[in-house]
Structure 1
Amino acid sequence: MHSINHRLTPVGQTGSRVDMAVRIVDDSLMLSDETAHQARSVSTGGWVVSYLPGRTVSIDQALAALRAAEELTVVRACAASLGLTVLEIAGMAAAECPWPPPPSEGFGRRLAFWLGVSR
């Protein structure tokens, strides 16, 4: 059995890093430690992913798809701690922040410092 590991280390709920690995077995099957989703080789350079029916992707795209599925396990845990679903937290986090940006250390602040003006 030929196996290649691709490591991804996202930040877990407590701030600790969690090792996730996607393995390629016998150059024909891609498996993950963190999700039941998988990818299978279907042609020279072509892969299909269990949750992307009807699409043939490259090996790099298949790896990205499984890594995304792994990341969802982390997002699912964060969402659950907030009483939200994965779709709810993803939609809310994808929206633009309604708060104004924090004050920057831009030119005006530096000029005020050099002029001795406090804000």
Structure 2
Amino acid sequence: MTVLQESQHLVSDRTPHHARSTGDGGWVVSYLPGRTLTRDQAEAALLALEDMAALQAHVGLLGLTVLEAMGMAAMECPWPPPRKEGFAARALAWAGVSR
């Protein structure tokens, strides 16, 4: 996952989307029409797409799209939180450590 600057463009090896310089420090990104961004914002926009590609690889195993998984994950968890003490005790037991 890399975003590189090639002349007046920012490109990614994970997505066909790219950014181009408008001069005076402004950048436009192919999937964000009408917005002028800083270079850092343009790079962040491309990195977000790279992250989406990685997420798709994971959620694809579940038969979901990234948007479906994010929508489900944004919902409040219906289960009570696990007891931390029990988790720590199990973690220590797995590591072969006794209290």
TM-score relative to the length of structure 2: 0.79
Query: Taking CA–CA contacts closer than 8 Å with sequence separation of 6 or more, which of the two structures ends up with the larger relative contact order?
Result: 2
Q: 1:49: Cα distance to partner?
A: 0.5
Instruction: Tell me the number of residue pairs that the alignment of Structure 1 and Structure 2 aligns.
Output: 85
Aligned letter for 1:71? D
Partner residue of 1:73 out of 53, 62, 66: 53
Q: RMSD across aligned C-alpha pairs, in angstroms?
A: 1.2
Q: 1:41: Cα distance to partner?
A: 0.5
Percent same amino acid at aligned positions? 58
Q: What corresponds to 1:82 in structure 2?
A: 62
1:24 counterpart = 2:8: no
Q: 1:79: Cα distance to partner?
A: 2.0
Q: 1:95: Cα distance to partner?
A: 2.0
Partner Cα separation in structure 1 for residue 23 and residue 78 of structure 2: 47
2:37 aligned counterpart, secondary structure: coil
1:41 aligned counterpart, secondary structure: strand
Structure 2, unaligned runs of 5 or more: 86-99
1:55-94 CA-to-partner distances (Å, cap 9, x unmatched) read 0011110010000000111111122111112210111122
Q: What corresponds to 1:103 in structure 2?
A: 83
Q: 1:103: Cα distance to partner?
A: 1.9
For residues 5-84 of structure 1, what are the structure 2 equivalents within 5 Å?
A: 20-26=1-7, 28-84=8-64
Partner Cα separation in structure 1 for residue 36 and residue 82 of structure 2: 44
Name the larger-Rg structure. Answer: 1
